[in-house]
């Protein structure tokens, strides 16, 4: 959603970084461009004015003149102000109340309330082991209650039995009683919406609030609504005192202005964002991480969290053992493809990697088909267990049989076999050389991060604590972890992917080398 804004800001900062010193005229020119970029991204005008004024005030002052690299310092200031506009700290759904804790979902029709209700229920059930009851109070929209019942079945959560003769207030009263008697931890009420705000809608929702006494009132807003989303939020907040905002369709092609405006205009935190149609496509809203994504710095923390969610420790340990032996068969390739798909595919992962914006654009320009992963998994599924474990068995007749089973041409089997062979060669290098070789595979950008990692076992404990705090980790959690000492063999490995592939007998890949384009930014910690 933030791609166009990220591109515009990236071009502005590229111009600033090239200068040894900045004067007031340079800052003014940059502020004009930033203002134009924010307005084009559909950010509310009042928010744009306040944001640009704050940045200018800090950029023209002593902070920049004392800085060694003024351009980078301006990027840091913009980052700090973006975090401030988006809400500084992440705020989660508050369940600190007597059971059943009632959540009231409100918003306009079509904003995704019913789907979001089911997503939140699944999240609470899976992550916090809560017993959840869903109740639809939407008596106007055809099949709204049935939709919530079906979604409840999909996510394995109970729904209130449908009684068609009742009005929304009566349903709320019955749901509250059922939640209490049934021993439920959380009760989520999905209210009706309208295509626009009217007095009847507000009066009905206020009546439900008085009956249900909700602990949280979550306003569901479509990120594609644009500036009108702010008016919607203010209207609902004025009558209901909303406690938080859930933004849907953040994965769409909206310009991101609603997210930047909503928190600043209403003072209410954005608690969750919907990033897809699947029931698990719901994420916590972290202002600092979103700001990093907008400024092209990636979101490594979210990437690690995604990996931890989809890759079990047992699977990771097995893979590490195989890598140590230099073994990598088709079964391993299949599990890697499935994990990548679960984590959002190549496009989703590229969006979280720092400095990978250009690579993502190149992939988009080359029309890389993400469905190729599905075809490759189908090919591997068509193999026998012996063929997966021993790729050398794949002669011409076996390849014909596999192609027929997967519904593809034999040429696709040949491509996959070649790809597997190259990956197996790389994995052998990684097995021998550790993190340095893995860094080399990413050519410069990630190489600087992985290959140049310090030896944690030889670092002073105070330095480790400082690093942990800067990354937002409690230093106490690091105690008792084994020290990771990297093998010296990594120093002898090639530093970029072309040299690595040549040394393994594979073809060189163009365009993956080069130094990191986005330099490390000083002082990106919390605002003082």
- What's the mean pLDDT when you consider all of the chain? 76
**How much is the pLDDT for 112?**
92
**CATH code at position 121:** 3.40.50.300
Residues 312, 413 share a domain: yes
Q: What percent of the chain has pLDDT over 90?
A: 31
Q: What is the pTM of this model?
A: 0.62
Residues 200, 327 share a domain: no
Residues 410, 347 share a domain: yes
Structure tokens at 319: 């893979």
**Residue 525: is its pLDDT beyond 80?**
no
> CA-based Rg of the chain, rounded to a whole angstrom?
26
**CATH code at position 34:** 1.20.120.140
The residue length of the chain stands at 528
376 is in an annotated binding site: no
**How much is the pLDDT for 352?**
57
Last residue of some domain: 433, 456, 471? 433
192 is in an annotated binding site: yes
111 is in an annotated binding site: yes
Please state the separation of Cα 179 from the chain's center in Å: 33
Residues 286, 332 share a domain: no
**How much is the pLDDT for 123?**
94
Could you give the CA distance from residue 83 to residue 289 in angstroms, rounded to a whole number?
9
SS (H, E, C) 258-281: HHHHHHHHHCCCEEEEECCCCCCC
In degrees, to the nearest 5, what angle opens at C-alpha 323 toward C-alphas 318 and 326?
135
76 is in an annotated binding site: no
**Residue 187: is its pLDDT beyond 90?**
yes
User: Is 139 within 8 Å of 192 (Cβ atoms)?
Assistant: yes
Residues 323, 195 share a domain: no
**How much is the pLDDT for 313?**
64
Residues 290, 309 share a domain: no
345 is in an annotated binding site: no
User: Is 226 within 8 Å of 122 (Cβ atoms)?
Assistant: no
Please state the separation of Cα 85 from the chain's center in Å: 19
**Residue 174: is its pLDDT beyond 80?**
yes
Residues 407, 267 share a domain: no
Domain that holds residue 226: 101-295
Among 340, 335, 483, 500, smallest CA distance to 432 is for 500
Residues 182, 55 share a domain: no
Rounded mean pLDDT of 240-245? Answer: 94
490 is in an annotated binding site: no
Residues 141, 270 share a domain: yes
Please state the separation of Cα 476 from the chain's center in Å: 26
Structural domain includes residue 483: no
Residues 107, 81 share a domain: no
193 is in an annotated binding site: yes
Structural domain includes residue 462: no
**How much is the pLDDT for 80?**
85
520 is in an annotated binding site: no
Last residue of some domain: 381, 400, 433? 433
Query: Tens digits of per-residue pLDDT, 117-162?
Result: 999 999 999 999 999 999 999 998 889 999 999 999 999 999 999 9
Residues 112, 79 share a domain: no
Residues 111, 260 share a domain: yes
Which residues make Cβ contacts (< 8 Å) with residue 79, sequence separation at least 6?
291, 292, 295, 297, 521, 524
Structural domain includes residue 491: no
Tally of domains in the chain: 3
452 is in an annotated binding site: no
Structural domain includes residue 400: yes
Q: Give residue 471's pLDDT band: very low, low, confident or very high (50, 70, 90).
A: low
Last residue of some domain: 276, 295, 314? 295
């Amino acid at each position: 959603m933030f791609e166009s804004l990220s591109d515009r800001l990236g071009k502005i900062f590229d111009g600033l970084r090239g200068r040894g010193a900045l004067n007031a005229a340079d800052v003014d020119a940059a502020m004009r461009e930033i203002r134009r970029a924010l307005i084009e991204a559909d950010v509310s005008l009042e928010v744009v004015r306040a944001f640009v004024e704050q940045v200018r005030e800090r950029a023209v002052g002593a902070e920049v003149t004392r800085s060694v690299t003024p351009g980078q310092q301006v990027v840091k200031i913009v980052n700090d102000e973006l975090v401030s506009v988006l809400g500084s700290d992440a705020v989660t759904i508050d369940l600190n109340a007597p059971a059943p804790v009632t959540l009231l979902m409100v918003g306009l029709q079509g904003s995704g309330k019913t789907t979001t209700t089911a997503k939140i229920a699944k999240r609470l059930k899976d992550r916090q082991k809560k017993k959840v009851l869903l109740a639809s109070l939407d008596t106007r929209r055809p099949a709204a209650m049935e939709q919530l019942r079906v979604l409840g079945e999909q996510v394995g959560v109970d729904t209130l039995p449908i009684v068609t003769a009742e009005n929304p207030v009566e349903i709320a009263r019955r749901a509250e009683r059922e939640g209490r008697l049934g021993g439920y931890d959380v009760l989520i009420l999905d209210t009706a919406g309208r295509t626009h705000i009217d007095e009847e809608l507000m009066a009905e929702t206020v009546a439900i609030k008085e009956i249900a006494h909700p602990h949280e009132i979550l306003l569901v807003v479509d990120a594609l609504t644009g500036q009108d989303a702010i008016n919607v939020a203010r209207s609902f907040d004025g009558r209901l005192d909303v406690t938080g905002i859930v933004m849907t369709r953040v994965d769409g092609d909206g310009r991101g202005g609603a997210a930047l405006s909503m928190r600043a205009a209403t003072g209410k935190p954005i608690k969750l964002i919907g990033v897809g149609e699947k029931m698990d496509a719901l994420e916590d809203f972290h202002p600092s991480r979103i700001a990093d994504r907008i400024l092209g710095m990636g979101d490594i923390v979210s990437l690690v969290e995604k990996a931890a969610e989809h890759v079990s420790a047992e699977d990771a340990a097995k893979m590490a053992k195989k890598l140590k032996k230099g073994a990598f068969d088709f079964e391993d390739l299949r599990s890697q493809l499935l994990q990548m798909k679960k984590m959002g595919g190549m496009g989703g992962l590229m969006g979280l990697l720092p400095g990978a914006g250009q690579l993502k654009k190149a992939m988009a320009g080359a029309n890389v088909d993400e469905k190729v992963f599905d075809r490759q998994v189908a090919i591997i599924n068509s193999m026998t267990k012996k063929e997966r474990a021993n790729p050398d068995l794949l002669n011409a007749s076996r390849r014909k049989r596999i192609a027929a089973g997967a519904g593809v041409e034999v040429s696709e089997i040949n491509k996959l076999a070649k790809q597997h062979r190259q990956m197996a060669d790389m994995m052998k290098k990684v097995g021998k050389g550790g993190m340095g070789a893995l860094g080399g595979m990413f050519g410069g950008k990630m190489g600087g991060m992985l290959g140049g990692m310090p030896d944690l076992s030889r670092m002073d404990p105070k330095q480790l604590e400082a690093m942990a705090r800067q990354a937002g980790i409690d230093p106490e959690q690091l105690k008792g972890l084994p020290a990771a000492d990297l093998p010296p063999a990594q120093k002898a490995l090639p530093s970029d992917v072309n040299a690595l592939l040549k040394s393994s007998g594979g073809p060189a890949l163009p365009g993956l080398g080069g130094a990191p384009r986005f330099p490390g930014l000083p002082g990106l910690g919390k605002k003082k």
